[in-house]
Amino acid sequence: MAEIDRLAGLRTRTDAEAQQLQALRDRITAVRGSYAALLGLPGSAANAVTVVDPATPALTPTSPRVLLNTLLAALVGLLLALGIAFTMEYLDDTVKSSEDVEAATGLATLGTVIKMKGDKGRSEIYQLAALLYPRGPAAEAYRTLRTNLEFASVDEPVRTLLVTSSIPGEGKTTTSSNLAVAFAQAGRRVILLDADLRKPGVHKLFDLPNTSGLTSLLRTDDVTVDDVAQVTEEERLRIVTTGPLPPNPAELLGSHRMQTILERLVAAADLVIVDSPPLQAVTDAAILASITDGSLLVIDAGRTRRAAAGHGREALAKSGARVLGAALNRLSQRAGSDYVYYDYYGAYGAEATAKSAPGRATTKAGSQAAARPATQAASAAPAPLATSSAARPATQAASSAPAPLATSAAPAPLVTSSAGAGSQAAAPAPLADKRG
């Protein structure tokens, strides 16, 4: 319309402008005719439009949908978490069960020990569960390991048993010490030999001096087994520590004199348990495995990788060792469901013992029990577990009967719980007097 008005307002027009104006007027006329024709059709009147539903503002926002978005986010997060968990489980190649032990090493699992809870700042004495907490689940596990070792060596009795591991920190020293206590409690005369001449730990576990021991026997013939064997609260268990550490451990352990010393130790006991260094760190354990009657491989559940366990088994095989089996140590409580029965029977037995005898404190026989103060039994910290064999009375050393279990004036009950041996008693009664 504006163009028509502009062209119509011109006083003079060219032929082209006149033709353009006429074309626009013809087009307007045609459009108006079409519009009039449409208005003439039925239902095309303007008043035929009616309001069906009036427009009203929404009372709630249509976006965002908080509940729906929250549910979707939770579902997506759950799927991601499951995916990550399955991926980590797939990539985790640590040994966590007896089936993993057999798959990695081909060895049978002779015993599983549940992970013991406890304060890391406590004394290492509390790791002797077989001695401090005889009714606890850990002590029962070591007794099971002892029984399976005996069954594994029925045809060829074992007089010297090597306890080792593939890597450091798998608990071989704790296993060998508790296993020695378990064998001694079964009536066997046991000598626990600490042959780890690089990083010894048995003397720390039993709170013993380490001034003389295996290296003293290796150095001279003037030293006898009785001179270096230190007695413990368990009458039939004696400890031979490493003594002063030498600069050439592998050469000493592989010498002919070491075999002679093992023969002397076997003559003085029914069973010699040897604690050794880890297999992959040094060659000491492989050397000892070749001169002992049997070997036990300790594996830390959830920490030792299958490849490391397999390498340890290969090292023992190359040395010609007779491997009796493996011990799965520090098994998680979730995986060790069988320990529920241990906890039940252990607590039941402790309750029965508490009713008949409120507590017990072990002491040495004879004059040692008479001279010991009654207040010492109520001490909060446990006394050392062993004394030197040189200071032990001759009549007591010659005695074949186990030390009597006498109750003190202030007994400390040994009550077990399902949390593990490390948390069963806050302060057990003293176990023995420390002598020179």
Give the CATH number, domain containing residue 122.
3.40.50.300
User: What's the CA gap between 76 and 69, in Å, rounded?
Assistant: 10
Q: What angle do CA 310, 315, 316 make, to 5 degrees?
A: 100
More confident residue, 364 or 9: 9
C-alpha torsion sign, points 413, 419, 421, 425: negative
Burial of 359 (C-beta count, 10 Å sphere; 0-12/13-18/19+): middle
423 located within any domain: no
Q: Which three-class secondary structure state does DSSP give residue 288? A: helix
pTM for the full model? 0.63
388 located within any domain: no
Comparing CA positions, the residue from 120, 164, 129, 103 lying closest to residue 300 is 164
DSSP labels, 185-228 = HTT--EEEEE--SSS--HHHHTT---SSSHHHHHH-TTS-HHHH
Q: Are 225 and 153 in contact (CB under 8 A)?
A: no
29 located within any domain: no
Q: Which three-class secondary structure state does DSSP give residue 76? A: helix
Res. 365: pLDDT tops 50: no
Q: How far is CA 218 from CA 19, 215, 278, 290, in A?
A: 130, 5, 22, 18
Res. 340: pLDDT tops 70: no
21 located within any domain: no
State which residues form the domain around 166.
95-340
243 located within any domain: yes
71 located within any domain: no
More confident residue, 44 or 300: 300
More confident residue, 292 or 59: 292
267 located within any domain: yes
Structure confidence by residue, pLDDT tens digits, 52-76: 888 888 887 778 888 889 999 999 9
Averaged pLDDT for residues 27-55? 74
**Weakest-pLDDT range from 90-94, 123-127, 293-297, 375-379:** 375-379
425 located within any domain: no
Domain count, the chain: 1
Which residue type sits at 26? D
User: What's the CA gap between 144 and 142, in Å, rounded?
Assistant: 5
Structure confidence by residue, pLDDT tens digits, 179-238: 999 999 999 999 999 999 999 999 999 999 999 999 999 998 899 999 999 999 899 999
| Percent of the chain scoring above 90 in pLDDT | 47
Averaged pLDDT for residues 377-401? 37
**Residue 274: strand pairing partners:** 162, 193
